[in-house]
């Protein structure tokens, strides 16, 4: 089982959304995914509930609530023994002992950031913190930024400059754009199952291409991460 951790000092950076998008892609490809919800707000348990109600949940994914170190260890042990292909760890915004544990019990750390000064500054300090922590543990694993919520239209000059500045750091090649299909993920459920429902519905079919675009982006991001893990 390979683990991927999403972390950021800033709340609302886009961690949970990226986790849901990647989980959807892995499940669509037949992988078994342990979702480790290391956030006391339990966004992934909420996701499972909403998706189950909407008929867009797959039992290939299993959510573990792990909002303290003990439950994190328990989740980890159980997930390892049940031979999941991947564990995706979603953390709470900020720094904590639990977040540090999530950063060192993993094979890759992904740090989402939107194109705002506030987000980028927080992403940079998360990056530095992660590298220092891994060095202390004598670990060498990929740590990469993920540019999240990029406006679909033309970028402003300052957004272009921000994008260029972030390109100096290791980052996922794929960018996640600001899309309704991503914003709605938490309520609608897994992307590919939502898509299957929409194309089967003559009224909703009109938005199928939007969901398809989001699925392609999620697939491309998943591919970047699997490459970083040496699994592609
Ligand atoms: N690519 C995207 N397109 C559109 N909306 C997005 C995108 N990514 C995130 N969002 C929205 O931004 C908000 C914050 O995203 P999210 O909950 O994923 O962040 P987070 O880092 O998990 O936050 P927290 O630190 O509170 O856990 C949510 O309302 C989400 O729907
Ligand atoms: Mg979150």
Q: pLDDT by residue (tens digit) across 195-209?
A: 999 999 888 888 899
Domain ranges of the chain: 2-228
Tell the CATH topology of 2-228. Rossmann fold (3.40.50)
Question: Which ligand has the shortest distance to the CA of 148?
Answer: 1
Q: Which candidate, 6, 8, 9, places its Cα nearest to that of 22?
A: 6
Q: Please check whether residue 63 is in contact with residue 44, taking contact to mean a CB–CB distance below 8 angstroms.
A: yes
Dihedral over Cα of 1, 128, 41, 212: its sign: negative
Q: Which of 16, 96, 118, 210 to mutate to test the pocket of ligand 1 (most atoms within 8 A of CB)?
A: 16
The residues with which 122 forms a beta bridge, in sequence order, are: none
Helix (H, G, I), strand (E, B) or coil at 113: strand
Tokens of 117: 């000064």
C-alpha to C-alpha distance for 32 and 26, rounded to whole angstroms: 8
Residue 6 CA to ligand 2 centre (angstroms) = 9
Q: pLDDT by residue (tens digit) across 49-108?
A: 999 999 999 999 999 999 999 999 999 999 999 989 999 999 999 999 999 999 999 999
pTM for the whole structure = 0.97
Q: Which residues line ligand 1 (CB under 6 A)?
A: 8, 11-17, 39, 92-93, 148-149, 176, 178-179, 182-183
């Amino acid at each position: 089982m390979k683990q991927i951790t999403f972390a950021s000092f800033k709340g609302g950076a886009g961690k949970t959304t990226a986790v849901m998008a990647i989980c959807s892609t892995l499940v669509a490809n037949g992988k078994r995914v342990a979702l480790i919800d290391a956030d006391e707000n339990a966004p992934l348990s909420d996701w499972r509930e909403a998706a189950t109600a909407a008929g867009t949940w797959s039992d290939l994914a299993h959510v573990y609530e792990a909002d303290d170190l003990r439950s994190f260890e328990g989740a980890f042990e159980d997930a390892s023994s049940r031979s999941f292909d991947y564990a995706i760890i979603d953390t709470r915004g900020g720094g904590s002992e639990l977040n540090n544990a999530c950063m060192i019990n993993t094979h890759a750390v992904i740090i989402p950031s939107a194109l705002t000064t506030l987000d980028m500054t927080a992403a940079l300090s998360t990056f530095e913190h992660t590298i220092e922590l891994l060095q202390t543990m004598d670990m060498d694993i990929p740590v990469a930024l993920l540019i999240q919520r990029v406006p679909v239209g033309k970028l402003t000059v300052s957004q272009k400059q921000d994008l260029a500045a972030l390109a100096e750091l290791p980052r996922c090649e794929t960018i996640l754009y600001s899309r309704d299909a991503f914003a709605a993920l938490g309520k609608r459920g897994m992307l590919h199952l939502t898509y299957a429902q929409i194309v089967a519905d003559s009224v909703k079919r009109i938005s199928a291409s939007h969901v398809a675009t989001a699925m392609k982006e999620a697939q491309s991001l998943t591919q970047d991460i699997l490459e970083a893990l040496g699994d592609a």
